[in-house]
Structure 1
């Protein structure tokens, strides 16, 4: 499995996710390659000092530098996990062929059945509404209110951006990422056992 994490500048969140998952993959003996990139990154730039410190603290010794997401990364990845819904939308707009393998990290590891059903229904309704709009058909008040109702039921899948904050803010973001990575490792382990 080849996993690509994506955030904005590829200096804070996605490098944290990359390094922390690489540590877990190594510890678990999982067959996974991990990279990260940014939708507005400068290729070859340094990652943030606080992200680098937290990764070093966790035992990750490899140097990481920022990378702009490009077609080669998208083609390489089996799974693209973004830090926010905005990043997910950007990736899908730029690389529509990657839609079926692009999720937010939190969305991908969601395990609450009720929430998963709400997401599925919302995706279906939004697609239907967009199709109606494209065909200049009217969208009913009921359709709009059902989408809104589903939006309220679905948790926020954005991981907080620590950019510019002190180390403690980065640590909170790393913990937020880490809890999702724990669920991701369980999913990776299950898929390995099913093969």
Structure 2
């Protein structure tokens, strides 16, 4: 069983889209959640995130959540959207060391480690972010299913 936790800042743009994308794959033995390092509990996903998920026929129902210790304990792998998120997670929750990666790192991408934040951007910025997330999650999914990640 893999329990994947996506983490971004406010849990209204990147991590909800990533959660919805991975959930839509309906992978056997994979559960998925998302949270934010500075999220307000109960906020909806951003309007443009919702529009892009709808355009891609990806089901979603989302309420933002602040990252808590219970999330860290639940997750078998934590995928942060940026290096700063990864550092915030492992700094606050040392027990997350060894199972926390940036999404790009986990997917095997080289170079710049961050998925850009579309917050405040127009629909085109959100579409670009969604497309980037789809590609990264495709690679990450294969890695999960092959059980190649190392804790």
How high is the TM-score relative to the length of structure 2? 0.92
In the aligned structure 2, how far is the partner of 1:189 from the partner of 1:55?
A: 24
Q: Which has the higher strand share?
A: 2
Shift of 1:155: 0.8
Q: Which has the higher helix share?
A: 1
The residue aligned with 1:109 is 107
The residue aligned with 1:90 is 88
Q: Of 58, 61, 72, which aligns to 1:60? A: 58
Q: Of 162, 166, 172, which aligns to 2:118? A: 162
Shift >6 Å, 4+ stretches:
none
Matched pairs, number:
147
In the aligned structure 1, how far is the partner of 2:14 from the partner of 2:60?
A: 16
Gaps of 5+ in 1: 112-153
In the aligned structure 2, how far is the partner of 1:59 from the partner of 1:30?
A: 20
Structure with greater Cα Rg: 1
Say which SS state the counterpart of residue 98 (structure 2) adopts: helix
Are the equivalent residues in 2 in contact too, given 1:6–1:81 (CA < 8 A)? yes
In the aligned structure 1, how far is the partner of 2:59 from the partner of 2:129?
A: 20
The residue aligned with 2:15 is 14
Gaps of 5+ in 2: none
How high is the TM-score relative to the length of structure 1? 0.72
